[in-house]
Amino acid sequence: MLETPLYVLSYLDLRSKHGEKILTTHELTLLATHLKYNLWINEKYDLVHFSDDLGVHLDAAMAVRREGLRPEPMTIDLGLQLLSLDEDSTNTINKGIRLISGQAAKDGRNHTFTAGFGASSSGLTIHCSNRPDEAVAKTLFTHCGLRKYSQKASRWFGLAVSRGTAAVRFGLELEGRWKENPLMDEAVRRMPAGFRPHEFKAALKVKRKLGRNDPCPCGSGRKIQAVLSAPIIRVRGTYSVGF
């Protein structure tokens, strides 16, 4: 983490220099702050408090080293993409996942939700199914390929989730420059259009909202108040939203 001797000395120098100005409960919080921002403190401040949440990234990095975990590049890419979304877009994706998971648990069918991130020329397709991984991977690959082509995107992500629990099973990433293809044009023409953003959000609002004590359609057996507060709508098939 402190990769060179000079970096170590720099941290120790700043730590001793600002010792009387620093208020923190954990030394690792200061180390994490130095790694991310540099521990330099303006002379005009008499006292600076460093909250423990500044050390969360260091805690995660140390856990990775202890457990020998190495996240896949696709996981990192998708994580960065999701972090770039605003709150409204993130909430829409969460509702979409809950929707297809609940519907799949209820009717036993496979359901798919797609969110296109127009500004970054990418998107995410989530396929909910309990079929074997190989069969789901083929279906998810097809969905992602069609959506990527239809949006003329350079990158597209896919996630396979389980029915009811919406637990992530595996993911994939398609990357490459868009190139016109007559066969893909025909396939996209026959592809379900899905909801536009305003249509999807409107549908969530107009349908009946479940009562607090109604069973949740996600299949967990718990009451709706214990699972989610978002409205649930009765729709089957493919759901597509672009941001």
Task: Please list the pLDDT of the chain residue by residue as tens digits (243 residues).
Answer: 556 666 677 778 888 888 888 888 888 888 888 777 778 788 888 888 888 877 777 777 777 666 665 666 677 778 777 777 777 888 888 888 888 888 888 888 899 988 887 666 888 999 999 899 899 999 999 999 998 998 888 889 999 998 878 888 888 889 888 889 998 899 888 876 655 555 555 545 544 444 556 555 444 555 645 544 433 333 333 444 443
118 and 57 part of one domain: no
Q: Residue 117: CB partners within 8 Å, gap ≥ 6?
A: 81, 84, 85, 89, 123, 124, 242, 243
63 and 87 part of one domain: no
User: Which of 46, 67, 88 corresponds to the end of one domain?
Assistant: 67
Structure tokens at 141: 């690959």
Q: Which domain holds residue 130?
A: 77-242
Whether 72 maps to a domain, the answer reads: no
Q: Where are the alpha helices (DSSP H) in 175-220?
A: 182-189, 197-206
What is the reported pTM? 0.56
User: Which of 38, 67, 96 corresponds to the end of one domain?
Assistant: 67
Round to whole Å and give the CA distance between 201 and 210.
17
Q: How wide is the angle at C-alpha 154 spanned by C-alphas 149 and 158, nearest 5°?
A: 70
Question: Looking at this protein, which amino acid is placed at residue 222?
Answer: R
- Bridge partners (DSSP) of residue 161 are 128, 168
181 and 205 part of one domain: yes
Whether 81 maps to a domain, the answer reads: yes
Cβ proximity of 114 and 123 under 8 Å:
yes
User: Which of 24, 47, 67 corresponds to the end of one domain?
Assistant: 67
138 and 194 part of one domain: yes
**Count of domains for the chain:** 2
